Amino acid sequence: MTRFAAAWLLVLVPCASAADDPLYLKARQKIEYIEERRAPPGAVIVFTQNEINAWAKKRIPEIVPEGVRNQRLQLKNGGAVGFALMNFLEMRHAKGEATNWFLAKLIEGERPVEAEITLVTKGGYATVELKRLEISGIPTPGVVLDFLIKTFLLSMYPTAHIGEPFEMGHNLDRLELRPTGVRVFIKKEGWAPLPPEEKLPAPVK
């Protein structure tokens, strides 16, 4: 999973026919086009919200095989709101993370989760900020939010970046998030093709 593709997942139902979904196939083709650096300098690639959600339905269960279902993303200007039913204990077990008895009792069971993020991108770098997290309709205080990020997100996904800039790679200059979709801008300068020996394999079908 590349950093570009993983960026779609920071805020987020397995579907038997997801691989045949034309929206998923469109999204996958666009991602491959970007990851393999076939997009020319200055190009703009547009992902619709429906394409993003179709891609997430297929890929999220492959990354988080247990503990997440009914995920969807609602885009907004400069950010997004993610919705899902989540079982934090199952997520930890699926990643092989041990959980002490007291913490397990606090987090067991499936809960509706809503998370809001903002995304700022410029010059090939992106910064994701987690602005709000609600669990079972209850806003999570800042101290608890920091605990959840460290205990769950960063322990299971240590390469995740929250609140700090990271390089997007793949000749990306910036992203524009709008309610109708995401516009991906390719750099006009400093653009470099991917060497043939480094071509990425096609995503798992």
> Residue 88 — pLDDT band, cuts 50, 70, 90?
confident
Model confidence at 119: pLDDT above 80: yes
Q: Measure the CA–CA gap between 177 and 187, rounded to whole angstroms.
A: 17
Is the residue at 205 inside a domain? no
Give the residue numbers spanning the domain of 78: 3-189
Question: Does residue 198 belong to any structural domain of this protein?
Answer: no
Number of domains in the chain: 1
**Residue 49, pLDDT score:** 94
**Residue 60 located in a structural domain:** yes
pLDDT of residue 196: 52
Residue 195 is assigned to a structural domain of this protein: no
